[in-house]
A = this chain, B = another copy of it.
Amino acid sequence: MDDLTEMLKGTLEGCVLEIIGSEETYGYAITRRLNELGFIDVVEGTVYTILLRLEKNGLVQVTKRPSGVGPPRKFYALNDAGREELARFWAKWEYVSSRIDKLKEGGR
């Protein structure tokens, strides 16, 4: 599969929100999770910029914990605003993807 970066714009942040929402986790693990989901070209730098943005926008709660196998981890969990944002994201996704699928089916 060739380059997906442009198509991921606007959706990757929502994917990260979903991952955080299903389980409190940290940047490095989120990157691995995205990679195993099939987003193989997503790199750490990208995920960390998203996480910093989420934190800046007040959508997550951050807790630092020691790791044992490396430097301390920053664990992220959704707060109320984050859960609302996640719901908005899925609504938008539903809206956009259904319309694109309709266009694909030759919808008039």
A interface with B by C-beta (< 8 Å): 1-2, 4-11, 15, 18-19, 22, 37-39, 88, 90-93, 95-97, 99-104, 106-107
Q: Which residue of B lies closest to A96 (CB)?
A: B7
B residues less than 8 Å from A95 (CB atoms): 1, 4, 38
Are B96 and A37 in touch, CB under 8 angstroms? no
Report copies per complex: 2
> If the complex has contacts A7-B92, A10-B9, are A106 and B2 also in contact, measured as CB distance less than 8 A?
no
Binding site secondary structure of chain A: helix
> If the complex has contacts A10-B7, A106-B22, are A100 and B15 also in contact, measured as CB distance less than 8 A?
yes
Q: List 8 A-B contacts (CB under 8 A).
A: A2-B92, A4-B96, A8-B96, A9-B9, A9-B10, A11-B96, A97-B100, A97-B101
> If the complex has contacts A1-B92, A18-B104, are A99 and B37 also in contact, measured as CB distance less than 8 A?
yes
B residues less than 8 Å from A22 (CB atoms): 106
Q: Which 5 A-B pairs have the closest CB atoms?
A: A6-B10, A7-B10, A9-B9, A38-B99, A7-B96
